[in-house]
A and B are shown apart, each in its own frame.
Chain A
Amino acid sequence: MHISVEWLREFCPAPLTAPQLRDLITARVATVEGMEALRTDLAPFVVARVVESGKVEGTKLSFNKVDDGSGTLLDVVCGAPNVTVGACYPFARSGTVMPDGLKIEKRKIRGHTSNGMLCSARELGLGQDADGILTLETDAAPGTPLLDVLPVGDVRLLVDVLPNRPDLLSHLGVAREVAAATRLPLGLPRALTSGTSVLVAVTVQGTGRAGGVTVTVDDAVGCPRYAGVLIRGVQVGPSPKWLAARVEATGGRSINNVVDASNYLLHAIGQPTHAFDAKRLSGDAVVVRRARAGETIVTLDGVERKLTPSMLVIADAERPVAIAGVMGGRDSEVTSRTTDLFFEVAYFAPSVVRPTRRALGLSTDASYRFERGIDRADVARALALGVQLIQAVAGGTVEGEPVDVAVAAPAPVAVRLTAARLARVLGIPVSVADAVRHLEAIGFTATAVDAVSAMVHAPSWRVDVQIEDDLIEEVARLHGYDAIPDELRPFRPGVVPDAADHVTAKRIRAALVGAGLHEAKPLPFVAGTDATHARVLNPLAEDEPHLRRSVLESLARRAEYNLSRMQGDVRLFEVGAVFTPREGSALPAERQMAGLLVMGDRRPAHFTDAKPPAFDAWDAKGLAEQLARAIAPHAAISFVAGDGDALWTVSIDGTPRGEVRAVALDAPVWASPAFGVELSIGDTPSAPIAPPGKHAWGTTPVAQSAAPAVRYRPLPTTPAAEFDLALLVPLALEAGAVEAVLRAEGGELLESLVLFDEYRGKGVPEGQRSLAWRLTFRHPDRTLRDKEIDGRRSQLLKALEKQLGVTARTA
């Protein structure tokens, strides 16, 4: 909402500067997001003092020495009769552009140089001249910007009016709050009170007559109140300057006196109005009805719009002439040839205007206000003010009487306000008397006021006030949020346990950051297909309308992004949600996943290690182990080889949780292979906790802190015995199978088994490889004898040969 400070002062004579008003409105009412000087064209002008003055022979001109604060006295020729030595005047230096567009240049006049111009009020666009140049009553030093000493030029405040306060969408509404905060009177501008005709509209139901026009309301739900008046003999033309200035101050454009009067009313009191060219209304009829299928209208903006029966229109005897509450039609627009007006002031229901505005994609100042709710009780007064204003600027006479077709308005909301609730919500005692005083200042009324409570009635324009806490908000902000103390009071700690997925995510982050990976936060939108992916019905990008099923999918795209920027060392991870469509439910199944992707050098290059190896599948398997351990500390982690790009399936305590993959990328030739891991953290249920209006306290299981899965084993007191086994293993035989035999045959005393070497090539027969394990044996109570160890070794070799056909590698 654009608020003109000058205009605001016509409603409430607050002696506050624009910045003071900005701060007051922000602190008590609604945030002022910006402040714009409307006379920026006056910014280059400065205060200058005339130091010497002399007459130019034979003319009315004077030549003067002028101090403009620059340090050098300037020669300036002036035609005004009132130049006085020692006085200060507005001064335009050479090069200044005047409000009328003229540029002041250095020039010679009658042999005298003139370096600028001393200005009159008229030349500055500040009104008419009485006696020459404008004398400034100021002590300011020469050179001071004119705008600092002369509070001219309106300032526009940009007020961020939120959807609950349509009453602030007018100067009257904002002024009401300023008046309450400053305890100054609230009134209407002279332009609205100095007219002559004050009419009382005739209230009828269903249909009535305004002069020669029949007004019928077919839809009292969409339009519970419709007032109109017929004004004949108006003279449409340019607006007077003051009216144009007001329209422009609110960001509009002056069109003609009648349209400007309508816009003036909208911004002054918040009531949208519309003037039709009465001669263009066929059948002298105005009908408020639903549009008929197939009807169209060309609106004021020249666009032909298709109407549907859900839309409310104003029609004449034949066709729609306006879309109710949204925009008028071009056929009945007021033009310079218009002489008779049908002037409309109505209340259109938000429930009708909002869907129409949305369907047409057409938001106007009027629809914006109707959607939020205007003051239904103010319709008749707005009509009277409108007529007055139109007659003042365009003449004309009212034919017959205005008509006001209305159904009874709902009773105003009455809410009991109690001192107890006030103290409970605000945390400070506020007396009912103080609360009522605050509320009355902005138009509320109170009955049955006593020490503990009052019955409070909201004014007709406060459609947002419904319950006691709404009143408490009014009291709090008028009292001033800053007047409520800012102190820490005793509290009970919360009983809600930490969300498990959040705790797990922290462990994952610590582990993977420690492993040298960067946390990424990619967007979860992907190309996908409807069959496999949950779809966003109104996606931002048509090429990525689906929600991802996999975090690794997002990381792969991010890796490609990095490759396209010549970054080949990519180590990324993410903990985030994935979605899969669910049969019979619009809500997809949602799951928290942890994913990682690595490619490029395994470690930074060093002068001892100029070309570090690239990440390979074993690194990915190791990272998967780390990730799994972070997801489920102490749990058993196992891997099963997969097919193709799926290198391994990873299980935690026997339950498959995800995969290690070779990741196929759209990658340049220089890129290293990419490997990824993605493991599930857990499902995120989206089912309701309890039905609406109900809770489920006591039924939510509190997660027990997990029993320690780790048991202490006594540290060994006896020495270990080690030996290595180098074996010839057929390529088709998995190392895991050999290990299984070694473990089974090694017995209880086998403490550890480490595969430390793989070799293929010279010295190893074709179709085989050499694998070497280091075996460590230990007896808990005594030192193992060499003979025992040798026996164990030959026993193992025998078993391997018998069960797997594996023999020791000799030499």
Chain B
Amino acid sequence: MTEITTLAAFRAAADELAASGPARIAAAATADELAEARNALVGRASGRLGALMKALAALPKEDKKAAGEAANTVKATLEALLDARGAALAALAPRGPAIDRSMPARAQWTGTVHPVTQVIEEIEAIFREIGFTVATGPEAESPWYNFAALNFPADHPAMDLHDTLYLGDEAVLRTHTSPVQVRTLQAWQPPIRVLVPGTVYRRDFFDPSHAPAFAQVEGLCVDEGISFVDLKGTLSHFARRFFGATKTRFRPSFFPFTEPSAEMDVACRLCGGRGCAACKQTGWMEILGCGMVHPSVLEAAGVDSARYTGWAFGMGPGRIALQRFGVPDIRLLYDSDVRFLEQFA
């Protein structure tokens, strides 16, 4: 070290130490290395701060106080950094017996969203991207909303497809989420783009593929100039986003509340469309029923069917959940066995 004889030189040396010290401290990766750094930097005997303190004696008397303060500032800064680094290293490798880091974390319980809700949320997210919002409605409904307004002829074989649970002559447990179509059309002037998730009821006895109450997701789009092309375009888009399906198929079907009516299939993902047991050798998986909203439904809701057109669809997220998660029996979705539910974390 060159001889320090002036306050300026002393300060320069102190500044240099303050500037270079932190890197040295940060580089220390073990307690031993840190002790070495401590010694080299602030050690009384052989450290650089020690050397600086010794140089203090050679300064003019009037400069000693200022120089001493400068040295103390550097000392405090470096010691704080040394202590912090020491604490950090101690946290990584505390003294005492070495810990076994293969041992498990101190965990919290993990909660889960029901698998059917997970499917509904995924469907909802896709439709939100294209301008849909969510509508809901009552599960105990009047027969007018559940049937008549949806163009079900009174006492017609079409009713046989909806084995209904009755609460009274003028009250049913809704057999589909479609009553919310009518409620929404009555409440809001188009443009309407809504998704309707909800519980629906059928007089179906519990078996591996039937439940008396299950989830349905309905979709409704009504505006001027809405056509079958929009229906196909939107639902195919959904199928590509949801299933990664490259191919969809629309085939004729029947629902009292749509005309024309269709079912949408996606190419079976298990066999790639060649045909397998899962798709009954057809190469296709049935996904949803859909169609153009029947003019009678619009008129029942007070909507001018000459001005407005629309399309609607309905699908079963429960069935999709069974397929997606490989669940063999629909009853598992309702039993609420915690060993089942916790699998969907």
Contacts and interface: CB of A to CB of B under 8 A. Distances in A.
A424 B299 CA distance: 17
A211 B253 CA distance: 46
Contact of B139 (A498, A513, A577): A577
Interface residues of A, number: 113
A761 B262 CA distance: 75
Contacts of A467: 259, 295
B334 interface: yes
Q: How large is the interface on B (under 10, 10 to 19, 20 to 34, 35 or more residues)?
A: 35 or more
B338 A572 contact: yes
Interface in A16-34: 26-31, 33-34
Contacts of B106: 606, 608-609
A561 interface: yes
Contacts of A525: 212-213
B108 interface: yes
Interface string B298-318: 011111000001000000000
B232 A693 contact: no
B19 to A, nearest CB: 33
A492 B130 CA distance: 10
Nearest to A510: B113
Contacts of A537: 165-168
Interface string B145-188: 10011000001111011000111111101000000000111111
B228 interface: yes
A369 to B, nearest CB: 10
Given A496-B188, A607-B104, A576 B339 contact: no
Interface stretch (B3-11, B62-70, B85-93, B190-198): B190-198
Contacts of B165: 536-540
Contact of B131 (A493, A497, A577): A493
A588 to B, nearest CB: 5
Given A165-B254, A372-B157, A586 B170 contact: yes
Interface stretch (B36-44, B244-252, B266-274): B244-252
A428 B229 CA distance: 8
Interface stretch (B20-28, B48-56, B75-83, B233-241): B233-241
B228 A426 contact: yes
A154 interface: no
A122 interface: no
Contacts of B204: 540
Contacts of B309: 424-425
Interface in B103-145: 103-104, 106-114, 116-117, 130-142, 144-145
Nearest to B263: A31
B170 A519 contact: no
B246 to A, nearest CB: 12
B32 interface: no
Contacts of A193: none
Contacts of A577: 138-139, 199
A509 interface: yes
B254 A164 contact: yes
B38 to A, nearest CB: 33
Contacts of B145: 688
A481 B248 CA distance: 11
A424 B248 CA distance: 23
A618 interface: no
Contact of A540 (B156, B205, B338): B205
A473 B259 contact: yes
Contacts of A28: 252
B280 interface: yes
Contact of B237 (A351, A482, A488): A488
A538 B112 contact: no
Given A561-B336, A586-B170, A692-B149, A491 B144 contact: no
B260 interface: yes
B186 A695 contact: yes
B341 A494 contact: no
Given A513-B112, A521-B114, A569-B338, A495 B189 contact: yes
A163 B158 CA distance: 6
B230 interface: yes
B104 A538 contact: no
A493 B167 contact: no
B304 to A, nearest CB: 10
Contact of A509 (B113, B199, B335): B113
A684 interface: yes
A251 interface: no
Nearest to B256: A164
Contact of A607 (B103, B137, B186): B103
A425 B228 contact: yes
Contact of B230 (A489, A519, A540, A587): A489
Contacts of B253: 31, 162
A606 B299 CA distance: 64
Most-contacted residue by chain A among B139, B206, B253, B294 (CB, 10 A): B139
Contacts of A540: 165, 203-206, 212
A371 B157 contact: yes
B185 A695 contact: yes
Contacts of A496: 133, 135, 184, 187-188, 192-194
A628 B48 CA distance: 62
Interface string A657-697: 00000000000000000000000000011101110111111
Given A481-B250, A536-B173, A164 B189 contact: no
B259 A571 contact: no
Contacts of A609: 106
A587 B300 contact: no
Given A576-B199, A604-B107, A163 B259 contact: no
A269 B7 CA distance: 118
A696 B192 contact: no
A116 B309 CA distance: 68
A562 B254 CA distance: 42
A561 B249 CA distance: 42
Contact of B157 (A354, A565, A576, A606): A354
Contacts of B211: 523
Interface in A434-493: 467, 469-470, 472-473, 476-477, 481-482, 484-489, 491-493
A495 B184 CA distance: 11
B138 A494 contact: no
A607 B161 CA distance: 57
A590 interface: yes
Contact of A516 (B110, B131, B134): B110
Nearest to B157: A163
Contacts of B300: 692-693
Contacts of B226: 491
B110 A606 contact: no
Contacts of B156: 163, 350
Given A469-B295, A496-B135, A690-B302, A476 B113 contact: no
A537 B138 CA distance: 19
Nearest to B173: A536
A347 B225 CA distance: 42
Interface of A: 26-31, 33-35, 162-165, 350-351, 354-355, 371-372, 423-428, 467, 469-470, 472-473, 476-477, 481-482, 484-489, 491-499, 501-503, 509, 512-525, 534-540, 547, 555, 558, 561-562, 565, 567, 569-572, 576-577, 579, 585-588, 590, 603-604, 606-609, 684-686, 688-690, 692-698, 700
* Leading 10 A-B pairs by shortest Cβ distance: A586-B168, A427-B227, A516-B109, A427-B229, A494-B193, A695-B302, A473-B260, A513-B111, A586-B171, A162-B254
Given A35-B281, A501-B136, A700-B187, 8 more contacts: A163-B160, A484-B228, A514-B111, A518-B111, A537-B165, A587-B141, A587-B171, A688-B142
30 contacts: A27-B249, A425-B227, A426-B228, A482-B250, A489-B229, A489-B233, A493-B193, A494-B192, A496-B187, A499-B134, A515-B111, A521-B215, A536-B166, A537-B168, A555-B336, A558-B336, A561-B336, A567-B338, A572-B336, A576-B199, A577-B138, A587-B171, A606-B106, A608-B106, A685-B138, A688-B186, A690-B301, A693-B299, A693-B302, A695-B302
